[in-house]
Amino acid sequence: MSATAATPSPDTPAAKLAFQLYAAIGIAVYLLMMIAGVLFRAAQANYAPVPANFTYELMTLHGAGMVGVSGLAGAAVMWYFLRRHVALSTGMFLSMLGLSLVGVVMILAAIGLGRFAGAWTFLYPLPAKSMGVWGPHAAAAFVGGLLLIGVGFLLFYLDCALALLRRYGSLWRALGLDQLFGSGPLDTSLPPAVVASTMVVIVNTLSILAGAVVLVMTLVNIYLPEVTFDALLMKNLIYFFGHVFINATIYMAVIGAYEIVPRYTGRPWLISRPFLASWAAVTLMVLAVYPHHLLMDFVLPKWMATTGQVVSYLSGIPVLLVTALGALANIHRSGLKWDLPLRLLVFGLFGWAAGVVPAIIDGVIRVNLVMHNTQWVPGHFHFYLLLGLLPLVLGTLFYACTRSGWAETALDRATFWIYGAAGAIFCAMFLAGGWQSVPRRFAVHDDAWVGVAQIGTLAAVLVLVAAVVLGVRVLSRLSRASLSA
């Protein structure tokens, strides 16, 4: 591999401010969305007298807010490290935030003023057919808000793609495929962060383009109801977009582990042939796996459902294996000193790995017959988002504010364990609900289902308290954040 000379992005005050803005806004949004989630779970547990309509507004807000902020948080981790290897624009990074904030205002207006409650998945034709609960303008504001956010992300990924092309000549080489398929010795100067970022740029550009198409089609249907579309095509486009987008958040956040763990162990995390092969495979598989959301759509061609099931078994596993084994090998007998940022990063890898197991189980058609749309589904995705993605993001943020080392306190340790243990119980209660066939997305729960919801709510409150403490700890040190830590 012969790349042109590296052009890292300069550490300007504007770049530092941009990172701090992302961190501060990200933490605030995560905490607010958690409060919405706790209220929803408390309503299911009969702990909070929340009217049913309002509960669905909360659910819509929580889903859209969490997915959006996770996209931004993952992108911030990727930007933080990728800019050390290629020249990235701070302006584009900030444009993504600016457009997202305008989109958020539109979404808040759609939900708060227009009473839109059609869930973040805006499943066709629900936005246009609310049976009088919300009007067309509310639906259009929600869909338009998502569209604006998508434009922001697209600009960011295009900037990353350009920077990778300038530095490596092609995405093929940035993904290390010339080396994977070449016969010579590996050039280990290709950073894992570049390989992972290239994968995300490819899959998320495609997902956002599909999302933009289906959002525009939805807008047309809202204002011209006589123009209708094939519902199966719409569902395919929506789930292709949604699944790839939320999946990519973890593939961006894991860059934090690739870059930070070696700084604790003093051992570089280098690319290898299995590493490159795994990232190449997952680039294709993440694009092909989404039909596992449509296993109960009997009109879906059988080959697509079968592909969805088989690829579900395989999809996350290669990257997960090379990452988990890579982390263990890097840490083993390195004599490192554990502190809060490192604990969060390694715990995040565990949450990701463990969360994939119930996801794969649900991707089996026979199981999906029973588990589809039960609380098993929020059980698996909260596992790898709450216990995987979020600790990876928080670990990176703590590290960015640490420069001279994190002096770990008893409060840090207690908060970490409360977050981890309560988070695991919270997810386990969703999974237990799914096991008992409790439906997901129900505001009102049958008496027989309330027990798991009550334990889930108590655990959720503990998660929230721990998250507030962690968030405040990061915010109080944010002024010390360094782009070259």
Can you give the binding site for ligand HEM, defined by CB under 6 A? 34, 37-38, 40-41, 59, 62-63, 66-67, 70, 119-121, 375, 378, 382, 385-386, 389-390, 440-441, 460, 463-464
Q: Which is nearer to ligand HEM, 36 or 163 (CB)?
A: 36
* Rounded-to-integer distance, Cα 250 and Cα 411, Å: 27
Q: Which is nearer to ligand HEM, 15 or 389 (CB)?
A: 389
* Rounded-to-integer distance, Cα 426 and Cα 288, Å: 30
Least Cβ distance, residue 433 to ligand HEM (angstroms): 8
Least Cβ distance, residue 282 to ligand HEM (angstroms): 20
Q: What residue is closest to ligand HEM based on CB? A: 37
Angle, helices 52-82 vs 13-44, to 10°: value is 150
Least Cβ distance, residue 421 to ligand HEM (angstroms): 14
Q: Which is nearer to ligand HEM, 38 or 77 (CB)?
A: 38
Least Cβ distance, residue 59 to ligand HEM (angstroms): 5
Single-letter amino acid code for the residue at 322: V
Q: Which is nearer to ligand HEM, 121 or 197 (CB)?
A: 121
Q: Which is nearer to ligand HEM, 242 or 318 (CB)?
A: 242
Least Cβ distance, residue 67 to ligand HEM (angstroms): 5
CB 254 within 8 A of CB 196: yes
Exposure on the CB side of residue 348, measured as CA atoms within 13 A: 28
* Rounded-to-integer distance, Cα 268 and Cα 125, Å: 51
Q: Which is nearer to ligand HEM, 325 or 444 (CB)?
A: 444
Sign of the torsion angle spanned by Cα atoms 237, 243, 244, 245: positive
* Rounded-to-integer distance, Cα 107 and Cα 110, Å: 5
Q: Which is nearer to ligand HEM, 79 or 120 (CB)?
A: 120
Least Cβ distance, residue 438 to ligand HEM (angstroms): 8
The 3-state DSSP class for residue 23 equals helix
Least Cβ distance, residue 447 to ligand HEM (angstroms): 16
Q: Which is nearer to ligand HEM, 99 or 429 (CB)?
A: 429
* Rounded-to-integer distance, Cα 384 and Cα 348, Å: 8
Whether a cis peptide bond, with omega within 30° of 0, leads into 125 is yes
* Rounded-to-integer distance, Cα 355 and Cα 431, Å: 11
Q: Which is nearer to ligand HEM, 275 or 383 (CB)?
A: 383
Gap between the terminal Cα atoms of the chain? 28
Least Cβ distance, residue 214 to ligand HEM (angstroms): 16
By CB atoms closer than 10 A (0-12, 13-18, 19+), residue 215 is: buried
Least Cβ distance, residue 386 to ligand HEM (angstroms): 4
CB atoms within 10 A of CB 124: 23
Least Cβ distance, residue 444 to ligand HEM (angstroms): 11
Selection from 369, 464, 442, 399 nearest residue 50 by Cα? 442
Name the E strands within 36-154.
Answer: none
For 62-65, the CB contacts below 8 A with 24+ separation are 62/33, 62/36, 62/37, 63/119, 63/120, 63/121, 64/107, 64/120, 64/142, 64/146, 65/29, 65/32, 65/33, 65/36, 65/104
By CB atoms closer than 10 A (0-12, 13-18, 19+), residue 443 is: middle
Name the E strands within 36-173.
Answer: none
Query: Alpha carbon of 234 to those of 146, 196, 276, 337: distances in Å?
Result: 16, 29, 34, 51
Least Cβ distance, residue 411 to ligand HEM (angstroms): 20
